[in-house]
Amino acid sequence: MSLMLAPIRAGSAPYAAMVMDARTGEVLHSRNADTRLHPASLTKMMTLYIAFQAVQRGEISLDTPVTISRLAASEPPSKLGLRQGQTIRLRFLLRAAAVKSANDASTAIAEAISGSEEAFATRMNRTARAMGMRNTTFRNAHGLTQSGHLSTARDMSILGRHVIYDFPQYYNLFSRRSADAGIATVRHTNRRWLDAYEGGDGIKTGYTRAAGFNLVASAQRGQERIIATVFGGSSTAARNARITELMDMGFNRAPSRATIRRPNPPIAMLSSNSSNSGGAIPGGKIVRVSGLVATSMRPIARPLPQAPEPEALVAAVDTDSIDAVLASAVDAAVAEALGASPPVETTVVATATPAVTPTTRPAETVVAAVAPPPPPAVNTEPEVVTRISTSGGRHWGVNVGRYNTRYDAERVLLRVALNEMSSLDGALRRVVQRSGGFDANFMGLTREGADLACRRLQARGTTCFMIGSDS
């Protein structure tokens, strides 16, 4: 059954659209999908994606305080209303950028992660290329019109799919009708469509005069998930009507059952001296993928002690002096055993004499007699041992994603366990049902073990984050 779209009303901005089966990445409909156009605030999907990535890699935390620069505070609306010199936690900036599409919050995120908006835009472009977004160039973190800041309906659909599958733990941020942004409560820019369309749960709106009314939207019904993208709508109402038509087309054309083929997360090479065409991420946390040692320096041998001169071997101590030394040693040992003060130390002076063969010591000679120690006392009281909980306790785990069904979560857990047996040895596979799906967790690890397992899984391209606590 084919679904005919209503004719497009001519607007001031060119029109482009794409419909994609999010489960497989299959394109179900496209029109001008590779035409480079102004993305407007659809840009913030990439800004937020990199922020999620930076939090996951430990470059920054959700509670890191961010000081607002003059540039961020001066961004035009839509904005949160940040002031220069103000300090606000990163989590509030993420909410403001995702829900309200705040430009000042987006610039503050970029500066907090990369030091400047220019450096952040470089990271955005590297990440876009790693995702396969072939026709996108970012110049800023918010999407306000700037020369050369362009993207396509296809590339934004690809980005939206990565946001959904690479960071399911944060995806709910895009469907919140309102959110606490620290200094204000912000409301979603597309809550009307989210409330009106069954299964609608995101993702991002965008508008500038040059771009028109843009939207990347996603909805899930049962096992089916569709992503639809529109560039160049003539109004909010027209854009939402077009997205609704595209979504209906997608659900009509998509198979009811399909094997989920998650996109491969972009692999970024973390290096401080790579060129712009490479894969470096300024300020990124370096993750060593291989522990193999390329070269090993051989240790330098210690110098041998010099042999004594032959003349030094001729010196000897006469027999009388030897007897005096032995007597002194015996007296000292006996005194020490009895708890008395040791005798005054006797100094023996060695004189150089011809070598003399010493007399043989008698077999029955006793040098010192010490009373045997008393037997240890027997403690009749029961011994109480208290175990102190530390970070080494096996109270930690790792999450490898949230899935639509318990079967999908269990299958992923089995596959990951087989691929990473050394790191997850002894871990328990556990599926936990949440409101948004089924979490696939490995539990029963130490903190160090969970951290190591997560790093190895991320190096293999598997999304992972630590869960649990020291308690």
Sign of CA dihedral 441, 444, 447, 448: negative
Token pair of 68, please?
């607002």
In eight-state DSSP terms, residue 355 is -
The single-letter code of the amino acid at 384 is V
Angle between helices 103-114 and 44-57 (to 10 degrees): 40
Q: From 115, 458, 138, 50, select the one nearest 283 (Cα to Cα).
A: 115
Where does residue 417 fall: left (phi above 0), alpha (psi -120 to 50 degrees), or beta otherwise? alpha
The one catalytic residue among 69, 78, 100, 101 = 101
Which residues on adjacent β-strands are paired with residue 213? 207, 233
CA-based radius of gyration for the chain? 37
Whether 422 is a known active-site residue: answer no
d(CA 155, CA 33): 8
CA 22 to each of CA 161, 239, 273: distance values in angstroms, whole numbers, following the listed order = 6, 21, 36
- Residue 41 a catalytic site member: yes
Of these residues, 44, 79, 100, 204, which one is catalytic?
44
d(CA 152, CA 135): 7
Task: Using alpha carbons only, give the angle 73, 155, 151 rounded to the nearest 5 degrees.
Answer: 50
Pair 193, 204: CB distance under 8 Å: no
Cα 257 to Cα 21, 66, 226, 247, 313: the distances in Å are 11, 45, 13, 17, 94
Active site residue 275: no
Catalytic residue among 41, 78, 114, 218: 41
Catalytic machinery residues: 41, 44, 101
